[in-house]
C-alpha cells in the first residue's frame, strides 16, 4: 500500500477540521431555531393564545429570512464567512435571551424573527464557504452531503434539549438552554480558517441585481427545482397529518411516518460521500424527483401507517439525495464572485414558498380534499424531473 505524503496528510486533516467546524457552527444556529420553533408555539398554547397568534408567530420565523436573504448573500460575497455567521449567531442569541426575559407575544414574535434571520444568514455563509472548499464536482457533492447533516443533527438536538428543560424546569429555562447553541456557534467560528484569496472579480459597468442571475437558464432550472423541493416538503407537512387523521391513525403512528423520512434522508446523505465519484448531480436530481413524484401520486391510496412509512422513507431517499446535488450544481453554474448572492436568492425562494404554499394547500384542501394536494404536487415534481434532465452535465464555474 503506497504511503501518504505528510503534506497531503496535513492538508486532508485541515480540510476535515474546517468542514467539521463549519457543520458544528451551523448545528448551533439550527439547533436554536428548531428548539425555538417547538418552544414558542408550546408556550403560546400554554398561555391560551389563539390559533391566529400562533400562526403569526410561526410565520415570523420565515419573514426576515425572506426579506434579508439576498443582502445577506451579498455580505458573504464581500466579507466572507466569519462576519456573516457571527452576526447570525448574535441575532439568534439575542432572540433566545429576549424570549427568556419575557413571554409577551411581541417579545416572542421578535425572538422568532431574530432567530429565523440568524439561522438563515449562517446557512448562506456555510453553503458558500463549503462550496469553495471543493476542488471539483465530485468533491463538492461529497462536501454538501456532509453539510446537509447539520440540519438533521440540529432537528434532533434542539427540540430534545428544549423539551427536557420544559418538562423538568420551565419554559424560561428552555430558552436559556437554547441560547447556548448560538454561543457554541460563536466559539466554532474561531476554529474556521480564513478563506483563501481569489482573483478579483471583473469590474462591471453598473451594479448587478440578484434577479439578473435568472438570466442564466441553468440557474432558472435549479431555482425551479429548489422551489419544488421546498413546496413538496410543505405539502407533506400539511397533508400527511390530515390524511393520517382521515385514515384513523394515532399521533404516534403519524410521528413514526415522519421519523421514517428523517432516518432515510440522513442515511442517504451519509452514503453519498462514498459514492460521489460515480454520481453526476444531473442524474441524481432527475432520479430523485421522479422517485418522489411517484410517492406523492401513490400516497392518497394508502390506508396503513406502515405503507405510509415506506412512502415517507422513499421520499426521504429522494429529497435526502437531491439537496447536495442542487447545492453542488448551484456553485457550478454561478460565477464565484456571486455565489453568496445566488444562495441568498435561493433562500428567498425557499422562504417565500414557506410563507405562501401552506395557504395555497389549505385552500385546495378545503375545496377539493387532501388527495388532490398530493396529486398536484406529484405532477409538479414530474415536471421538475424533466427540468433536471435538461441541465448540463459539466460544471461551468468549478
d(CA 33, CA 235): 21
Per-residue pLDDT at 1: 45
Band of pLDDT at residue 15, cut at 50, 70 and 90: low
Per-residue pLDDT at 245: 73
Q: Check whether 59 has a pLDDT greater than 50.
A: yes
> Which carries the bigger pLDDT value, residue 397 or residue 98?
98
**81-86, Cβ contacts within 8 angstroms, sequence gap of 24 or more:** 81/125, 81/126, 81/128, 81/129, 81/189, 81/192, 81/195, 82/189, 82/192, 82/194, 84/121, 84/122, 84/124, 84/125, 85/25, 85/29, 85/121, 85/122, 85/125, 85/126, 85/185, 85/189, 86/186, 86/189
pTM of the shown model:
0.68
Q: What is the mean pLDDT of residues 87-95?
A: 94
Q: Check whether 91 has a pLDDT greater than 90.
A: yes
374-388 confidence digits (pLDDT tens):
898 899 899 888 888
Band of pLDDT at residue 395, cut at 50, 70 and 90: low
Per-residue pLDDT at 119: 87
Q: Check whether 210 has a pLDDT greater than 70.
A: no
Per-residue pLDDT at 114: 94
Three-point CA angle 116, 118, 123, nearest 5°: 95
146-178 confidence digits (pLDDT tens):
777 777 777 777 877 888 888 888 889 999 999
Q: What is the mean pLDDT of the chain?
A: 78
Superfamily of domain 10-189: MFS general substrate transporter like domains (1.20.1250.20)
Band of pLDDT at residue 277, cut at 50, 70 and 90: low
Domain locations in the chain as residue ranges: 10-189, 210-389
Per-residue pLDDT at 178: 94
Q: What is the mean pLDDT of residues 35-45?
A: 81
Candidate CATH numbers 1.10.287.3510, 1.10.357.10, 3.20.20.70, 1.20.1250.20; the one for domain 210-389:
1.20.1250.20
Q: Check whether 398 has a pLDDT greater than 50.
A: no
Place of cell 435526502: 320
Range of 139-143, 232-236, 327-331, 382-386 with top mean pLDDT? 382-386
Band of pLDDT at residue 393, cut at 50, 70 and 90: low
Amino acid at each position: 500500500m503506497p504511503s501518504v505524503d505528510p503534506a497531503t496528510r496535513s492538508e486532508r486533516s485541515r480540510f476535515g477540521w474546517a468542514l467539521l467546524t463549519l457543520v458544528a457552527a451551523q448545528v448551533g444556529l439550527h439547533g436554536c431555531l428548531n428548539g425555538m420553533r417547538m418552544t414558542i408555539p408550546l408556550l403560546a398554547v400554554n398561555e391560551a393564545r389563539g390559533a391566529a397568534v400562533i400562526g403569526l408567530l410561526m410565520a415570523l420565523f420565515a419573514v426576515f429570512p425572506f426579506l434579508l436573504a439576498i443582502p445577506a448573500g451579498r455580505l458573504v460575497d464581500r466579507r466572507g464567512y466569519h462576519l456573516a455567521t457571527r452576526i447570525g449567531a448574535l441575532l439568534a442569541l439575542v432572540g433566545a435571551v429576549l424570549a427568556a426575559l419575557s413571554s409577551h407575544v411581541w417579545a416572542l414574535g421578535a425572538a422568532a424573527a431574530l432567530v429565523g434571520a440568524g439561522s438563515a444568514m449562517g446557512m448562506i455563509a456555510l453553503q458558500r464557504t463549503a462550496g469553495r472548499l471543493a476542488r471539483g464536482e465530485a468533491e463538492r457533492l461529497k462536501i454538501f452531503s456532509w453539510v446537509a447533516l447539520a440540519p438533521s443533527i440540529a432537528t434532533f438536538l434542539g427540540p430534545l434539549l428544549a423539551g427536557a428543560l420544559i418538562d423538568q424546569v420551565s419554559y424560561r429555562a428552555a430558552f436559556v438552554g437554547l441560547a447556548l447553541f448560538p454561543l457554541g456557534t460563536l466559539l466554532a467560528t474561531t476554529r474556521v480558517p480564513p478563506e483563501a484569496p481569489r482573483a478579483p472579480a471583473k469590474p462591471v459597468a453598473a451594479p448587478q441585481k440578484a434577479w439578473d442571475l435568472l438570466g442564466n437558464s441553468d440557474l432558472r432550472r435549479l431555482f425551479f427545482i429548489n422551489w419544488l423541493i421546498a413546496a413538496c416538503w410543505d405539502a407533506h407537512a400539511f397533508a400527511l397529518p390530515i390524511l393520517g387523521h382521515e385514515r384513523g391513525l394515532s399521533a404516534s403512528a403519524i410521528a413514526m411516518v415522519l421519523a421514517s423520512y428523517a432516518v432515510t434522508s440522513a442515511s442517504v446523505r451519509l452514503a453519498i460521500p462514498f459514492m460521489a465519484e460515480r454520481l453526476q448531480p444531473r442524474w441524481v436530481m432527475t432520479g430523485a424527483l421522479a422517485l418522489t413524484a411517484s410517492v406523492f401520486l401513490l400516497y392518497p391510496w394508502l390506508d396503513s401507517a406502515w405503507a405510509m412509512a415506506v412512502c415517507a422513507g422513499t421520499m426521504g431517499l429522494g429529497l435526502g439525495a437531491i439537496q447536495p446535488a442542487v447545492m453542488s450544481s448551484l456553485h457550478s453554474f454561478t460565477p464565484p464572485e456571486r455565489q453568496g448572492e445566488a444562495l441568498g436568492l435561493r433562500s428567498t425562494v425557499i422562504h417565500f414558498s414557506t410563507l405562501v404554499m401552506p395557504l395555497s394547500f389549505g385552500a385546495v384542501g378545503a375545496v377539493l380534499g387532501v388527495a388532490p394536494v398530493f396529486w398536484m404536487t406529484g405532477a409538479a415534481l414530474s415536471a421538475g424531473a424533466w427540468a433536471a434532465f435538461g441541465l448540463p452535465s459539466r460544471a461551468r464555474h468549478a
